[in-house]
Amino acid sequence: MDGMINPGTEDFLGTPLSDVTIPEAGVANLSRRGLFGVGAGALLLGVMVKARPARAQGEGLAAAAPRPGTQVAAFLEFHPDGKVRLLSPFVEGGQGIATAMAQIVGEELDVDPAQFIVDCAPPGADYLVVNGRRLTGGSLSVRSSYATMRQLGATARNLIVRAAAARLDVPEAELTTEPGKVVHKASSRTVPYAELVEAALKLQPSEVAALRDPATFRWIGKPVPRIDIRDKSTGRAQYAIDLQVENMLQGAVTHAPRLGQEPGALANEAEVRAMPGVHSVHKLPGAVAVLADRWWRARKAVEALQVTWADAPNPNALPADFSSAGMLATLRAEKGAGAPAEENGDLAAAFAGAAKTIEAEYDAPYIAHAQLEPPSAAARFNVDGTLDLWVPNQAPEMFQATAARMAGLEPGKVKVHSPILGGFFGRHFLYEAAAPYPQAIALAKAVNRPVKVLWTREEEFLRDGYRPMGFVRFKGAVGADGMPVALQAAAIGEGPIGRYFTQSQPVDSSMVEGIAGKPYAIAAKRVDCVKVKQPTIISFWRSVGHSMNDFFYESFLDELATAGGKDPFEMRLAMLGDKPRQATLLREVAALSGGWKRGPFEVDGIRRARGVAMASPFGSEVATIAEVSITGGEIRVHDLWIAIDPGRAVNPAIIEAQVQSAAAIGLSSSLLEEITYDAGVPQQRNYDTYPILPLARMPRIHVKVVESGAALGGVGEPGVPGVPPAVANAVAALTGQRIRSLPLSKARLGSS
């Protein structure tokens, strides 16, 4: 086991499909009922990932199927007005991937990114470009598809140039391109791409169409403006919630307060049916629904419905006495050893010889995605036997497969439309009972009309899959010189990778990422994964395990610095002696902040202090410094300095925007966010009881993008994990008070 490090979400999602163990049990006999109820989702997510490629390529035809990302006609449409429509493998949800795809394909195709219209592609084998599968997540989009999409653009350009050579009757070598057109300089002739495409697509594509010399890039690596910005500034951008299907009914639902309960008697059903605009009243698995001509009428009616909720036999029902306080107590009481995720050196000897040993326990609450667009879905069964489904999602093939089973159709008969997302942060994967599309399908089938179902914000908070509760127990020691010599950690609980993908494996990588595999030199260390099942629906949340684990680890590292009498910045730097990439980044963030100073110091008569943290999420490296003060017991974060090294930058402006965004959600989770359960029911149902960061609490954020030239790393998530520990470490520097439980606003802080 010496030197072993278990991979995190990053490595897992980046793994080729064949290397992943997928649970198969329990899928073959899924009834419609089973799909709607709780219980099957954990398996579905994993199984659908695996089942997809073979089916997509046609049974028995896999060997002959084209490699994903190579068929020009599947990706590109050329319009007479010079616009190019790209069917992107990825869904745009704010992260800027539509613009990045336009940059990458446009660079090689020789079309200005501003000329692109980018839509999320339908399900299909051509789009499985993320290590043989397809998802928008894991901060994987650009780095997994960069080479493929560049080559696609180059292949398309090559075909068009060859078509032009034939049409102009000149040698291919005499032709060049300018954005959107082929140019024959000798005869001063130009031909727009759109006029050549039909002929071009009849040619045999070249497998080795030449790529552009990166030194001549005009768009890749540049701060190209987002292509969706004007529509999003004028209300013209269309989200799932905005869809209107001809002749549709609108559905509103009320869910069982506690997951697993089912609707019993409807005391006033006749009265509700008579309310304005009401079409019909329905019982659904775990919910009731009203269909009406307008959504507000449906909502008023469903909320007027008097429902008796009854316990039902359901293995995954939330226990009636389930509480978050009880869950935390269960995790705290678990003293088992678990399975090692990282192990190095002789831990017992290191502790025995240490000058000082400390122990601490850290925890983080359930938290919600709280994206601004509430979930909706529209379903329409067509006369030709197909089903149109408009559904917010991060994985079209997975949704197609589950929708097909629910509808009783072959997957190919389900046409999944993937609108842009009004925020996602991990919200729109398949989680059991956490999305309205099964309800839309069932209702459309029941009434033989198109149906759109929209959840209220309250229903969304009730049925969101939350980030799991986190709990870690640490023991660490420093030597006579004050430097850390031993570190032991046990991550206790459950993570989404373990639940949905690797149930049979002893280590759940999403439980230990951000604790195992940290870059610091410590002679003896051991990180254990101790699995304790959580009965709630758990989910991926922006930066997954890192979003809390780096808080735990980097906070405890500061505790070790205090124990050893070390400055936390200088101590980290000393522990990165053999890690030049991380050491460079730590120096960069210090320089960005005007030179490291911990404080406390005074600004305008108010005491402030700074904290530092590092993280290695999703293939990128990040170093963060926070400056805080405390007024009236409330933490105020004035500045965040963040240096990120994603290897190379495809769009530095979007990277900076993503780091700003990630820092904001990281700060929001640090300070404010918590879902608590009482009697099996989540207590926070809207933004009044689940506050998220407002503008008035947004700090200045200073971003430095460092291009080390390392392999491309992720961009959307890596800015999150450094913020909570940097803030907590700053608070400790200011007050001497170490907060080990999130959110920080729970702690009683003296004014300083």
Partner 1 sequence: MLELSINGQTRQVDAEGDTPLLWVLRDNLGMTGTKYGCGIAQCGACTVLVDGTATRACVTPAESVVGAKVVTIEAVERDPVGAKVVEAWVSRQVAQCGYCQSGQVMAATALLQQTPKPTDEDIAGAMTNLCRCGTYNAIAAAVRQAATA
Residue 738 in the binding site for partner 1 (CB under 8 A) = no
- Cβ closer to partner 1: 194 or 637? 637
Residue 692 in the binding site for partner 1 (CB under 8 A) = yes
Residue 309 in the binding site for partner 1 (CB under 8 A) = no
Min dist CB 662 to partner 1, Å, is: 8
Could you say which of 141, 250, 324, 400 contacts partner 1 (CB under 8 A)?
250
State how far the Cα of 52 lies from the Cα of 125, in Å rounded to an integer: 8
Beta carbons of 35 and 406 less than 8 angstroms apart? yes
Residue 696 in the binding site for partner 1 (CB under 8 A) = yes
Could you say which of 510, 593, 668, 729 contacts partner 1 (CB under 8 A)?
668
Among residue numbers 61 through 120, which ones bind partner 1 (CB under 8 A)? 93-96
- Cβ closer to partner 1: 328 or 642? 642
State how far the Cα of 319 lies from the Cα of 286, in Å rounded to an integer: 15
Number of residues forming the site for partner 1 (CB under 8 A)? 62
Nearest to 747 by CA among 693, 677, 671: 671
- As beta bridge partners, residue 655 has none
Residue 420 in the binding site for partner 1 (CB under 8 A) = yes
- Cβ closer to partner 1: 249 or 561? 249
Of the ranges 36-44, 422-430, 488-496, 744-752, which one interacts with partner 1 (CB under 8 A)? Answer: 422-430
According to DSSP, the β-strands at 524-531 and 484-493 are parallel
Of the ranges 308-316, 423-431, 433-441, 608-616, which one interacts with partner 1 (CB under 8 A)? Answer: 423-431
Could you say which of 185, 232, 332, 746 contacts partner 1 (CB under 8 A)?
232
Could you say which of 67, 79, 185, 230 contacts partner 1 (CB under 8 A)?
230
State how far the Cα of 621 lies from the Cα of 616, in Å rounded to an integer: 5
Of the ranges 39-47, 473-481, 570-578, 661-669, which one interacts with partner 1 (CB under 8 A)? Answer: 661-669
Beta carbons of 746 and 731 less than 8 angstroms apart? no
DSSP letter assigned to residue 616 = -
Residue 393 backbone dihedrals phi, psi, to 5 degrees: -160, 155
Residue 704 in the binding site for partner 1 (CB under 8 A) = no
Among residue numbers 253 through 292, which ones bind partner 1 (CB under 8 A)? 276
Could you say which of 114, 653, 710, 747 contacts partner 1 (CB under 8 A)?
653
For 99, the enclosing helix (H) or strand (E) is helix 97-109
Q: Helical H runs in 524-674? A: 546-564, 568-574, 580-592, 652-671
Min dist CB 686 to partner 1, Å, is: 6
Which residue's structure tokens are 């659904």? 284
Could you say which of 694, 711, 736, 751 contacts partner 1 (CB under 8 A)?
694
Residue 634 in the binding site for partner 1 (CB under 8 A) = no
Of the ranges 179-187, 417-425, 480-488, 585-593, which one interacts with partner 1 (CB under 8 A)? Answer: 417-425
Residue 242 in the binding site for partner 1 (CB under 8 A) = yes
Could you say which of 165, 341, 663, 730 contacts partner 1 (CB under 8 A)?
663
Dihedral over alpha carbons 370, 373, 379, 380 (to 10 degrees): 180
Residue 665 in the binding site for partner 1 (CB under 8 A) = yes
- Cβ closer to partner 1: 184 or 226? 226
- Cβ closer to partner 1: 646 or 719? 719
Min dist CB 671 to partner 1, Å, is: 13
- Cβ closer to partner 1: 628 or 662? 662
Q: Which residues 6+ apart lie within 8 Å of 219 measured at CB?
A: 103, 106, 107, 112, 113
Report residue 185 as tokens: 């300089």
Dihedral over alpha carbons 615, 620, 623, 629 (to 10 degrees): -70
- Cβ closer to partner 1: 70 or 660? 660
- Cβ closer to partner 1: 88 or 456? 456
Min dist CB 692 to partner 1, Å, is: 6
Among residue numbers 333 through 372, which ones bind partner 1 (CB under 8 A)? 370-372
Class of residue 245 by CB neighbours under 10 A (exposed 0-12, middle 13-18, buried 19+): middle
Q: What is the CA radius of gyration of the chain?
A: 27
Report residue 143 as tokens: 């780095």
Residue 695 in the binding site for partner 1 (CB under 8 A) = yes
Chain-centroid distance of CA 629 in Å reads: 31
State how far the Cα of 134 lies from the Cα of 128, in Å rounded to an integer: 5
Detail the DSSP E strand segments found in 104-194.
Answer: 116-120, 175-178, 181-184, 189-192
Min dist CB 233 to partner 1, Å, is: 4
Extract long-range pairs of 204-211: CB within 8 Å, 24+ residues apart: 205/70, 205/72, 205/155, 205/158, 205/159, 206/155, 206/158, 206/159, 209/151, 209/154, 209/155, 209/157, 209/158, 210/154, 210/158, 211/108, 211/150, 211/151, 211/154
- Cβ closer to partner 1: 456 or 562? 456
For 510, the enclosing helix (H) or strand (E) is helix 509-512
- Cβ closer to partner 1: 209 or 635? 635
Of the ranges 3-11, 28-36, 214-222, 239-247, which one interacts with partner 1 (CB under 8 A)? Answer: 239-247
Query: Pattern of binders to partner 1 over 507-526, x per CB under 8 A?
Result: --------------------
Residue 606 in the binding site for partner 1 (CB under 8 A) = no
CA distances from 329 to 183, 264, 335, 678, 748 (A): 71, 34, 12, 14, 21
Q: Which residues 6+ apart lie within 8 Å of 243 measured at CB?
A: 376, 378, 390, 419, 452
Binding site for partner 1 (CB under 8 A): 93-96, 225-226, 228-239, 241-242, 244, 250, 276, 294-297, 370-374, 420-425, 454, 456-458, 653, 657, 660-665, 668, 686-688, 692-696, 698, 700-701
